Amino acid sequence: MTTNDEIKIEKPGAGECPVDLLVMLQDSVTTLREMTEVQCNHGNWDFDPYMHGMANGMIFALSLFDNKRPEYLDAPSKWGNEDPDLSEPLSEPSAT
For residue 87, CA distances in Å to 15, 79, 90 come to 54, 10, 9
> Rounded to whole angstroms, how far apart are CA atoms 87 and 44?
13
> Rounded to whole angstroms, how far apart are CA atoms 40 and 56?
9
**Residue of 94 and 47 predicted with greater confidence:** 47
The reported pLDDT for the residue numbered 18 is 72
Q: What is the pLDDT of residues 36-47, one digit of tens each?
A: 999 999 999 999
Which pTM does this prediction carry?
A: 0.69
**Phi-psi sector, 82: left (phi>0), alpha (psi -120 to 50), beta:** alpha
Residue 60 pLDDT more than 80? yes
**Residue of 27 and 2 predicted with greater confidence:** 27
